[in-house]
């Protein structure tokens, strides 16, 4: 049996929100078993608490946003991916604005903070969602599906009509250590023309080459270049791990995605959860202990 986890010590992140450009402070605090991952908009009066689950997703246009009447928190996906990689089921997140800080555009700063905070095992078992039947969501040329598999696997294909990106494909057989080493540091990316449109519309105000890979006509504009040759598809897989964690359980199944994004990722979770014949919850899954449940020390984050 795998046990639920929380963090051992509180840890604080500060940085700008990608879209608001505002400085935001975010503190993760330990939580009891059964709490879940709960954001608290402590800058609002009264504070608004929002559980990070698919039912609370209110917007998926540029990032994944959760909300309750009176308040939202957007761009939660990279933090969610880092929490997932450490098997954190329960944590309180006090946040002073409507967006999770973008940090360097990847999940690596969050992973480093959580690693430093440490992990505590709680006295309650955790459940895994085992996929029994295929579930698919299609939107034009975009598609995402999950099929039964012994493992949590994510295969992702993307293609752009841009010479600097063209098409990339990767398949991750999920294991916490692999994910943290090879995926967590992959950064958000955008095309210069899109970034300029977003800024003209008052979005991406906090966006810069410090927190995103920006692609111009001639290629990547960031002077340091890419962290991985195929950083874009790695980032999309990291986004998917964060978005799919909103199912509330680690998924045992093979996710196959073509040009998917936050919207389709969310719609797959909703479709899967609504199809009660397509999955079952188990406490002990043969594949799970080997791939979920990172040791507390002794692993390395990818050096950016």
Contact 278, 132 (CB under 8 A): yes
Residues constituting the chain? 304
Sheet holding 65-68, edge to edge: 57-59, 65-68, 71-73
Q: Per the residue annotation, which of 78, 235, 262, 266 is the catalytic one?
A: 262
Tell me: does residue 89 bind Zn ion (CB under 5 A): no
Between CA 129 and CA 84 the distance in angstroms is 14
State the minimum distance, in angstroms, from the CB of residue 210 to Zn ion: 15
Place of tokens 């360097």: 104
Residue with tokens 């999920």: 174
Kind and range of the H or E element at 146? strand 142-147
Residue 231 found at the interface with Zn ion (CB under 5 A): no
Distance CA 104, CA 247 (A): 26
Which residues pair with residue 13 across a beta bridge? 26
Three-class SS of residue 88? Answer: coil
Size of the site for Zn ion (CB under 5 A): 2
The nearest distance, CB 237 to Zn ion, in angstroms, is 10
Residues of span 238-267 touching Zn ion by CB under 5 A: 239
Nearer to Zn ion, 5 or 227 (CB): 227
- The helix (H) or strand (E) run that includes residue 281 is strand 279-282
Minimum distance from CB of 235 to Zn ion (Å)? 6
Name the one range near Zn ion by CB under 5 A: 160-168, 170-178, 232-240, 261-269: 232-240
Closest CB 189 distance from Zn ion, rounded Å: 9
Is residue 99 within the footprint of Zn ion (CB under 5 A)?
A: no
- DSSP annotation of 53: S
Nearer of residues 30 and 113 to Zn ion, judged by Cβ: 113
H or E element: which one contains 113?
Answer: helix 108-117
Q: If binding is defined by CB under 5 A, does position 112 make contact with Zn ion?
A: no
Alpha carbon of 157 to those of 78, 165, 256: distances in Å?
A: 19, 12, 8
Enumerate the β-bridge partners of residue 129.
Answer: 251, 281
Which residue do the tokens 């020390």 mark? 297
Nearer to Zn ion, 131 or 269 (CB): 269
| 262 a catalytic residue | yes
Interaction between residue 94 and Zn ion (CB under 5 A):
no
Q: How far is the CB of 81 from Zn ion (least distance, A)?
A: 8
Nearer to Zn ion, 60 or 188 (CB): 188
Least distance in angstroms from the C-beta of 262 to Zn ion? 8
Q: Which of residues 41-70 bind Zn ion (CB under 5 A)?
A: none
Nearer to Zn ion among residue 152 and residue 189 (C-beta) = 189
Q: 155-194 mask for Zn ion (x: CB under 5 A)?
A: ---------------------------------x------
Catalytic residues: 262
Residues that bind Zn ion (CB under 5 A): 188, 239
């Amino acid at each position: 049996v795998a046990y639920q986890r929380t963090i051992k010590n509180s840890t604080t992140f500060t940085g700008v929100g990608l879209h608001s450009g505002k400085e935001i402070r975010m503190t993760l605090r330990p939580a009891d078993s059964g709490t879940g991952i709960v954001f608290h908009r402590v800058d609002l009066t009264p504070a608004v608490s929002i559980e990070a689950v698919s039912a609370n997703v209110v917007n998926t246009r540029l990032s994944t946003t959760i909300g309750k009447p009176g308040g939202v928190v957007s761009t939660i996906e990279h933090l969610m991916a880092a929490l997932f990689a450490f098997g954190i089921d329960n944590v309180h997140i006090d946040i002073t604005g409507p967006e999770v800080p973008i940090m360097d555009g990847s999940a690596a700063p969050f992973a480093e903070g959580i690693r430093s905070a440490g992990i505590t095992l709680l006295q309650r078992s955790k459940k895994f969602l085992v996929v029994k039947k295929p579930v698919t969501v299609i939107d034009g040329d975009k598609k995402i599906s999950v099929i039964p598999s012994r493992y949590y696997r994510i295969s992702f294909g993307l293609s752009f009509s841009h010479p600097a990106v063209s098409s990339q494909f990767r398949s991750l057989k999920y294991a916490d250590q692999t994910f943290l080493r090879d995926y967590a540091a992959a950064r958000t990316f955008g095309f210069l023309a899109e970034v300029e449109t977003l800024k003209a519309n008052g979005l991406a105000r906090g966006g810069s080459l410090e927190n995103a890979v920006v692609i111009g006509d001639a290629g990547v504009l960031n002077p340091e270049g890419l962290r991985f040759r195929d950083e874009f598809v790695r980032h999309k897989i990291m986004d998917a791990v964060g978005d799919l964690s909103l199912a509330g359980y680690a998924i045992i199944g093979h996710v196959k995605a073509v040009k998917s994004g936050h919207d389709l990722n969310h719609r797959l979770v909703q479709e899967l959860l609504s199809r009660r014949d397509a999955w079952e919850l188990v406490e002990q899954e043969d594949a799970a202990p080997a791939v979920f449940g990172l040791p507390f020390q002794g692993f390395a984050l990818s050096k950016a």
